[in-house]
Chain A
C-alpha cells in the first residue's frame, strides 16, 4: 500500500528535491509551499503523513500542527526545522507531532519516520474499524 505524504515548506527547491527523492522511494508525494495550498491538499486527498517546516512566512508550524491534529486526528505530522531549539521542539511534540527532525535531513531517517508514523496511523485505523464493526454487531442487543 502506498503511503501518501504531504510536504509543506516555503523553500521551493528544497520541497522539489525532497519530493523527487521520496517519490523514488515509492511514496505518493504531494507538495505545498503555502499554507492555503497545504490545507486544500488535506481536504482533497487522503494524506497519511504531513512533513511540515516549523517556520514558514505565512504559517506557524506549531499552530498548523494543532489545526491538523484537530481536524484530522489520525494524520501524523513530522516537523522539520532549521532551528535547533529545545523549547519549540518539545512544544511541537507536546501538541502531538509524531517527530521533530533537524535540517539538513538525512533521507533514510526521514523515510523511517514516515513509515513509523504511517504504521501508527494504520494501527489506529484498524482499531476504529473494529470498534465500529463491533458497535454494528452489538447494536440490536443494546
Chain B
C-alpha cells in the first residue's frame, strides 16, 4: 500500500503538471492506458476503413466499369460513419479538445448529400398534360419521348395520334402514397445487380412491389377523364400506353425497348395497365441498361404517354442516316404490314428501303422481305400475331411514294431537332402517315476492316446485317430461354434465334451478338450499338455454332470465323474515353467533399479542425493528433512502468520506445529498454529490415558507418527540424503487441512508418511516408520517385508529390505486413543518401539494380 503522504505528494505533482485528473494508483493507470490504447485501435481501424472506401470511390470514378447509385451511397455512408468514429475516439484521447470536428463533419455531410440528391421535380406540375401545347418545355415532367412527340405535333405540324401524358408528378404521387421508395432503395442496396440471377430476382421483386400498389383515387380519375376527352364519340376508341421515363435523354441514351408499352387498351383498363408500365422501370434489361450507362435510378421517374390507338395498315421505323456508318446519310426505312411492333421487337422479316437524302429522293435500294407474320389489333383488346395473307407476303408494304413521303417527313424532323433521328411511324387505313415516336439516332462510325491474316479458315457463318460494327472473340453461348441467360459466362459470344429486347440485359457481359433473325431497326440492335457490342443480326440458320466453340466475329465483314483471330480484334485502349455518365458525375461531385487532402503539413499553422474541408482532411487530422496525444501522454506519465523509455542496444541509442500494451516481453521499470525485451513483431520486422544489409551506398556526409546512422538521427535536432512541436524532436517507436508507429528524422530526412499486424487481415495495414533530404528539390524529388517506383513494384499503393513519398498496403495477412516492414526498413536505411547521387544516371541505375536484388531476399 502506498502511504497517504506519498499519495498526496503525487497528487500535488500531478496537479502541478496539469494532470490533476490522473488517478494516482497503478491499477488506474493500467486502465487508463488500456482505454486509450483501445480508443487508438478503434481510430486506426476506422481510418483504414475510411481510406479504403475513398480509394474504392476514386477507382470507380477513374475506371470504365459501370456502377450504380447504391455503390455511391453505401461508400459515402461508410466513410461518414468511419470518420465519425475517428472523431469520437480522438475525443476520448483528448477530451473536449477537438469537438469542433463534429461540426465540420456535419457540414461536409450536408454538402455530400446535396451532391447526391436527385433532381427535384417542379413542384406544381399537373398530373396530366394534353398533347395540345406539349413540347420540349415539359421534358422534366413528361419525359423526352412524349415531350418530343408534342414538338412533332405542335411545332413541326406533323400528324400524331391524339393523347396526353400521365406526368412524373403522378408517378411521384403514386410512389409516395404507397410509401414505396424506402423499400425500393432497400432492395436495390441488398442485391448485386452485376449478377444475372440476382438481377432477375430483384427485377421480379421490384415489379411485384409496384404492381401491388394502389393507384390513388385522384390519379385514376384524372387518367379516366383525360381518356374520355380524346375519345371519338362514335367509335369505340382504344388506347396505347407508352413509357416516357425521365432521364432517357441523358448521355445520349436511347432506352430502346427497355420499358413496356401496352397497345390497344380499353378505357376501363387504363389504370391497372398504367401501373404495369410504371413497374417496367424495373425490367431486367432496363436495370442492366441503367447500370451500364451509369444512369441514376432516382432520376428515372416514369411518366407515361397515353395515345389513341392507330389501326396501322403498315408500320415501321425510319432513320435519317445509316446507324452503323456515320458517313452514310441516306434515309433507311424498315417497313412491314400492320403494327411497327414486328420491326422493333426485331423478330420478323421486313422490307428495307434506302432513299436518297437529296431531292427527288430516289429509291436507291428496296429489299423486300418475306413477311409471314404481322401484328394486328384484336377486335376486343390487345394486339395479336397474324399470318400475312399469301398475296401480300412478298409485296412491298409501302409504296415508293409513301416511302418518299416518310423520308421527307423524317428530314423535317431531323431539321427541327438538329440531329439525325430515329422515327417510329404508322400508315393508317386512310393512307395517312402518323409519327408514333421520334428520338435522336445514335450513329457509330464504320470501323475500318482489318486485313485477314493469311491462312484464316473460311467463315463458319457469313451474311446477315452488320447492326453494330467491330470484332470480338469468345466461346459461343446459345440462349433460347431465360434459364440459358443465367448461365452466360463473361466474355461469351451470345447466339440467339430472335434478337429480343430482353436479351439487352446480357450485353454487359457478352463480347458480341449473332442472331438468326432481325435487322438494323430492332431495339436490341440499338442498344448493342450504344454499348459498342459488335452484332450481326438476320444471319440465317446458325446450327454450325455450338456451345463453347471458340469463334471470332467480325461484324464489319458480316462473318463468324472459327477460333480466335487476334489480328481482327481491336487492341485494348482503342475503345475510346470513359463516358462521364450521370452516376459517375454524381460520384465525382460527392468526392470533391471527400477525397482531396488539404491538410498536408502537420506542423503548419493551418493544421487545425477549422481548416478541415473534406472527410480526408478530418481523417488526417484525427490520425495525426491521436498519435501525438498518445505519445505526449506516455512521455508525461508519472508511472515509470508506462513511460516511454530509451532503447538500449549495446549502447543507449537516440530512440525512445512507448509501449501501449503487450509490446514488451515483461515489465520494464528502469530507464532503458533492450532490443531483447521487445515483443512487438512488426517493430522487430522493421528493425530487421533496417539492419539486414550493410550500407554500401555513397558515403554519408559525416563519413560514418551504419551504427552512426542510427545515432546521427538526433545528433543535431536544432539543425533542420521540420517540427515545431517538442514531442517530435526525438525518434520513437510507439508499439503494442501488433502495432508499430515509427517517427524519425535521419538528418534531413523525415520518416513515418505505421503498421498493424494482427489477426484481422481486413484491418491490417502498413503506411509509409518519407520526405526531405539535403539536396536541392530536383534531386530530392527524383529520389522520391525512385523510392515510389520501388514500392509500387512491391504492390504498395504509392503517391509521390514533389519530395514526399507516401505508400500504403491494406488487407494483408500479418506475415505479409511483417515482410513488407522488412522491405520498408531496408529502404529507410538504403535510400537516405541517394538524393546526392540522383543527378548521376549510371549511379541511379547501379543502386536501383542492387536494391532490387537485395529486396528479392525479403520476399
Q: With A82-B190, A83-B182, A127-B35 given, is the CB distance from A90 to B78 under 8 Å?
A: no
Contact B28 A112 (CB under 8 A): no
Interface residues of B in 169-214 (CB under 8 A from A): 182, 185-186, 189-190
Contact B113 A84 (CB under 8 A): no
A109 within 8 A of B: yes
- Tell me how far the C-beta of A84 lies from the nearest C-beta in chain B, rounded to whole angstroms: 4
B81 within 8 A of A: yes
Contact B190 A90 (CB under 8 A): no
Interface residues of A in 97-113 (CB under 8 A from B): 99-100, 102-104, 108-109, 112
Closest B residue to A106 by CB, please name it.
Answer: B762
A25 within 8 A of B: no
- Tell me how far the C-beta of B612 lies from the nearest C-beta in chain A, rounded to whole angstroms: 16
Contact A86 B189 (CB under 8 A): no
Interface residues of B in 194-245 (CB under 8 A from A): none
* Chain B neighbourhood of A55, CB < 8 A: 182, 186
- Tell me how far the C-beta of B87 lies from the nearest C-beta in chain A, rounded to whole angstroms: 10
Contact A86 B31 (CB under 8 A): no
Contact B763 A86 (CB under 8 A): no
**Interface mask (A122-133 → B, CB under 8 Å = 1, otherwise 0):** 010011001000
A85 within 8 A of B: yes
Q: With A93-B85, A108-B760 given, is the CB distance from A85 to B73 under 8 Å?
A: yes
Contact B42 A86 (CB under 8 A): no
Interface residues of A in 50-102 (CB under 8 A from B): 55, 82-87, 89-90, 93-94, 99-100, 102
Contact A123 B34 (CB under 8 A): yes
Contact A102 B74 (CB under 8 A): yes
Q: With A93-B84, A99-B81 given, is the CB distance from A120 to B189 under 8 Å?
A: no
* Chain A neighbourhood of B369, CB < 8 A: none
A116 within 8 A of B: yes
Contact A82 B189 (CB under 8 A): yes
Contact A87 B31 (CB under 8 A): no
Contact B105 A126 (CB under 8 A): no
Closest A residue to B109 by CB, please name it.
Answer: A86
- Tell me how far the C-beta of A127 lies from the nearest C-beta in chain B, rounded to whole angstroms: 5
Q: With A99-B81, A103-B190, A104-B190 given, is the CB distance from A86 to B38 under 8 Å?
A: no
Q: Is the interface of A mostly helix, strand, loop or mixed?
A: helix
- Tell me how far the C-beta of A81 lies from the nearest C-beta in chain B, rounded to whole angstroms: 9
Docked pose: A123 CA to B27 CA in angstroms: 12
Interface residues of B in 54-89 (CB under 8 A from A): 70, 73-74, 76-78, 80-81, 84-85, 88
Among A83, A89, A94, contact of B185 (Cβ-Cβ < 8 Å): A83
- Tell me how far the C-beta of A53 lies from the nearest C-beta in chain B, rounded to whole angstroms: 11
Q: With A90-B109, A93-B88, A109-B762 given, is the CB distance from A84 to B35 under 8 Å?
A: no
Among B81, B105, B182, contact of A100 (Cβ-Cβ < 8 Å): B81
* Chain B neighbourhood of A127, CB < 8 A: 31, 35
- Tell me how far the C-beta of A58 lies from the nearest C-beta in chain B, rounded to whole angstroms: 16
**Interface mask (B31-53 → A, CB under 8 Å = 1, otherwise 0):** 10011001001100100000000
Among A89, A103, A123, contact of B81 (Cβ-Cβ < 8 Å): A89
Docked pose: A112 CA to B109 CA in angstroms: 26
* Chain A neighbourhood of B76, CB < 8 A: 84, 86
A119 within 8 A of B: yes
Docked pose: A85 CA to B84 CA in angstroms: 14
* Chain B neighbourhood of A108, CB < 8 A: 760, 762
Contact B189 A83 (CB under 8 A): yes
Docked pose: A108 CA to B764 CA in angstroms: 14
Among A82, A99, A116, A130, contact of B27 (Cβ-Cβ < 8 Å): A130
* Chain B neighbourhood of A94, CB < 8 A: 84
Contact A123 B35 (CB under 8 A): yes
Interface residues of B in 637-679 (CB under 8 A from A): none
* Chain A neighbourhood of B84, CB < 8 A: 90, 93-94
Among B31, B42, B88, B190, contact of A116 (Cβ-Cβ < 8 Å): B42
Chain B residues with a Cβ closer than 8 Å to the other chain, count: 33
Docked pose: A89 CA to B109 CA in angstroms: 11
Docked pose: A119 CA to B37 CA in angstroms: 11
B548 within 8 A of A: no
Interface residues of B in 729-786 (CB under 8 A from A): 760, 762-763
Docked pose: A20 CA to B832 CA in angstroms: 54
Closest B residue to A104 by CB, please name it.
Answer: B190
Interface centre among B77, B85, B105, B109 (most CB of A within 10 A): B77
- Tell me how far the C-beta of A86 lies from the nearest C-beta in chain B, rounded to whole angstroms: 5
Interface centre among B76, B88, B189, B762 (most CB of A within 10 A): B189
- Tell me how far the C-beta of A80 lies from the nearest C-beta in chain B, rounded to whole angstroms: 12
Closest B residue to A120 by CB, please name it.
Answer: B38
Contact A87 B185 (CB under 8 A): no
Contact B81 A87 (CB under 8 A): no
Docked pose: A55 CA to B41 CA in angstroms: 30
Interface centre among A55, A84, A89, A127 (most CB of B within 10 A): A84
Contact A83 B186 (CB under 8 A): yes
Contact A82 B186 (CB under 8 A): yes
Docked pose: A116 CA to B763 CA in angstroms: 12
* Chain A neighbourhood of B73, CB < 8 A: 84-86
**Interface mask (B274-293 → A, CB under 8 Å = 1, otherwise 0):** 00000000000000000000
* Chain A neighbourhood of B85, CB < 8 A: 93, 99
Docked pose: A112 CA to B70 CA in angstroms: 24
- Tell me how far the C-beta of B765 lies from the nearest C-beta in chain A, rounded to whole angstroms: 14
Contact B763 A112 (CB under 8 A): yes
B685 within 8 A of A: no
- Tell me how far the C-beta of A62 lies from the nearest C-beta in chain B, rounded to whole angstroms: 14
* Chain A neighbourhood of B109, CB < 8 A: 86-87, 90
Contact A85 B77 (CB under 8 A): yes
Docked pose: A85 CA to B188 CA in angstroms: 13
Contact B113 A126 (CB under 8 A): no
Q: With A93-B84, A108-B762, A123-B31 given, is the CB distance from A86 to B112 under 8 Å?
A: yes
* Chain B neighbourhood of A116, CB < 8 A: 38, 41-42, 45
Contact A86 B762 (CB under 8 A): no
B603 within 8 A of A: no
Docked pose: A83 CA to B106 CA in angstroms: 19
Contact A84 B77 (CB under 8 A): yes
Among A82, A85, A90, contact of B106 (Cβ-Cβ < 8 Å): A90
Q: With A85-B73, A89-B77 given, is the CB distance from A112 to B760 under 8 Å?
A: yes
- Tell me how far the C-beta of B89 lies from the nearest C-beta in chain A, rounded to whole angstroms: 10
Contact A89 B80 (CB under 8 A): yes
* Chain B neighbourhood of A102, CB < 8 A: 74, 77-78, 189
Q: With A89-B77, A112-B762, A123-B38 given, is the CB distance from A130 to B28 under 8 Å?
A: yes
- Tell me how far the C-beta of A93 lies from the nearest C-beta in chain B, rounded to whole angstroms: 5
* Chain A neighbourhood of B81, CB < 8 A: 89-90, 93, 99-100
Closest A residue to B113 by CB, please name it.
Answer: A86
Q: With A85-B73, A119-B38, A127-B31 given, is the CB distance from A90 to B80 under 8 Å?
A: yes
Docked pose: A106 CA to B259 CA in angstroms: 35
Docked pose: A109 CA to B760 CA in angstroms: 9
Q: With A93-B88, A99-B85, A108-B760 given, is the CB distance from A86 to B34 under 8 Å?
A: no
- Tell me how far the C-beta of B850 lies from the nearest C-beta in chain A, rounded to whole angstroms: 41
Docked pose: A106 CA to B189 CA in angstroms: 14
Docked pose: A120 CA to B106 CA in angstroms: 25
Contact B77 A86 (CB under 8 A): yes
* Chain B neighbourhood of A100, CB < 8 A: 77, 81
Closest B residue to A102 by CB, please name it.
Answer: B74
* Chain B neighbourhood of A103, CB < 8 A: 189-190
Extra A-B contacts (14), CB below 8 Å, given A55-B182, A86-B76, A127-B35: A83-B182, A83-B185, A84-B76, A84-B77, A89-B77, A90-B81, A90-B106, A100-B77, A108-B762, A112-B763, A123-B31, A123-B34, A123-B35, A130-B27
Return the 9 tightest CB-CB contacts between A and B, nearest first.
Answer: A84-B73, A82-B186, A84-B74, A84-B77, A93-B84, A100-B81, A86-B80, A123-B35, A89-B77
20 contacts between A and B (CB under 8 A): A82-B189, A83-B186, A85-B73, A86-B73, A86-B76, A86-B109, A87-B109, A90-B84, A90-B106, A93-B85, A93-B88, A94-B84, A99-B85, A102-B78, A102-B189, A112-B760, A112-B763, A116-B38, A116-B45, A120-B42
